[in-house]
Amino acid sequence: MSSAFLGGARDRLLPVSIPFRFFVSAALFHLAAWGVLLLEADQLGGFTGGPGPILAATHLATLGVFAMTAIGASYQLLPVVTRRPLARDWPTRLSFWLLSPGICLLAWGMDRSSPGAMQTGAALVCSGLTVFAMLTADNLRRAGSVAVVAAHGWAALLALVGLAVLGMLLVWDFQTGFLDDHAGLAAIHMVLASYGFMGLLVAGFSLVLVPMFALSRSLPQRPGWAQLVLAGVSLASFACGRWTGNTAFNWLALLAGFGAAGTYLWLMRAAMARRMRKRLGLSFVLIRASWGLLGISLILGAALLADLPIPNAPALFGFLLLAGWLSTFLMGILQRIMPFLASMHASGKSGLPPPPSDLTPQTPLKIHAFCHFGALACCAAGIIMETTALIRLGAVFGCVGALAFVGFALIVLLRLRAFQQGS
């Protein structure tokens, strides 16, 4: 699997500055999101939506961390997976310079409840996402040998269009109030962003990246197709349920979601069972934990649908969905992707690339992992117990862990430069 993935990959490598600007930005936005939560910890437990610092922190995570990571990875990994290079490099830089200030302005507007800032930031973000969607669609339409991965990419782009349109409507509605069901559309927007766009990209890339990093044999494609169909049914059913108010659609969405997640986890278990690399390192501690958190998020979704008496259930669900499942998975994958790509770009005096382990500082990653799990435990307990002090302690853990991850990213870049200079 690894040989198939890497065959001719160097011919399709982008300049190292392109993916790494997205990855380093994601690390910085990760720190910013925890920082906002630290300052406004008292508002997390009862949060159910609306402008304010928690909505700002949410979008610093979803757009700043998740979307930036997904876009940087897609720009570099999709051409390698599909064996089709990007037609041009400059639009990738354009998308970054639209997204970065757009995310900052949107988050600032949400924090300050400023309609103008939110609308301008949302327009910039949607423009950057449009450039990304066009580049990715052009690459996917030329992909033939990895149909199931490409299909996940197409489905993710469809979800991206939906969430972007809804996002713009929701931002304008804060000022004009023209939407009849703002909360319902906000729920669809969140599900399309998390389980839709990000979830489909995670599932598609996992079919390649997890076997590659674990040195596992190729995974069967039929379960991958089944997972994609179930995910599509779940997303469509949830949207219909919220749009029509028919709870039968919501239960169908939940059942299909459990089926999609179960199929995905079965595939990941198969990759682990077939792997040749026995010691997978700290990154797979996070990745495996994220698989469990995916299941927990769906169980909490079922509890919300059944209206079970869980304290602050909406806030707990959103926190474990975003800071739990998605953030844990992406931080684990980034620990592998960044040294891996740096290795492919580096060359020492011998002209041979260094192994990724030589570019990976372990101490910052250990600090990050310890603090990340501490943050999840404290914040989740604080939300349930309605204890601001616990949430603030969790945010302190989150900030320290995020700062350590920024250090990891910068050290990887410094070591890459040193190898490129032959030192």
Residue 3 has pLDDT above 50, yes or no: no
Binned at pLDDT 50, 70 and 90, residue 10 comes out as low
Binned at pLDDT 50, 70 and 90, residue 12 comes out as low
pLDDT in tens, 135-187: 999 888 876 667 888 899 999 999 999 999 999 999 999 999 899 899 999 99
Q: Above pLDDT 90, what percent of the chain?
A: 72
Binned at pLDDT 50, 70 and 90, residue 233 comes out as very high
Greatest extent of the chain over all pairs of C-alpha atoms, in Å? 66
* Chain centre to alpha carbon of residue 23: 11
| Residue 296 · residue 248 · CB < 8 Å | no
The structure's pTM equals 0.93
| Residue 152 · residue 115 · CB < 8 Å | no
52: left (phi over 0), alpha (psi -120 to 50) or beta: left
Which residues fall within 8 angstroms of residue 390, CB to CB, at 6 or more apart?
Answer: 378, 379, 381, 382
Helices (H), 141-246: 147-176, 182-191, 199-214, 221-244
Distance CA 359, CA 346 (A): 10
- Range of lowest pLDDT (12-16, 23-27, 152-156): 12-16
Half-sphere exposure of 334 (CA within 13 A, CB side): 32
Distance CA 195, CA 187 (A): 12
Compute the mean pLDDT over every residue in the chain, rounded to the nearest whole number: 91
Residue 9 has pLDDT above 80, yes or no: no
How buried is 420 (Cβ within 10 angstroms: 0-12 exposed, 13-18 middle, 19+ buried)?
A: middle
Structure tokens at 282: 């700290």
Report the candidate in 150, 137, 108 with the shortest Cα–Cα distance to residue 125.
108
pLDDT in tens, 301-342: 999 999 999 999 999 999 999 999 999 999 999 999 999 888
Which domains are assigned to the chain?
Answer: 2-420 (1.20.210.10)
pLDDT in tens, 89-129: 899 999 999 999 999 999 999 999 999 999 999 999 999 99
Give the mean pLDDT of 238-256.
93
| Residue 330 · residue 66 · CB < 8 Å | yes
Q: Directed axis angle between helix 327-345 and helix 68-82, to 10°? A: 50
Report the candidate in 259, 219, 401 with the shortest Cα–Cα distance to residue 328.
401
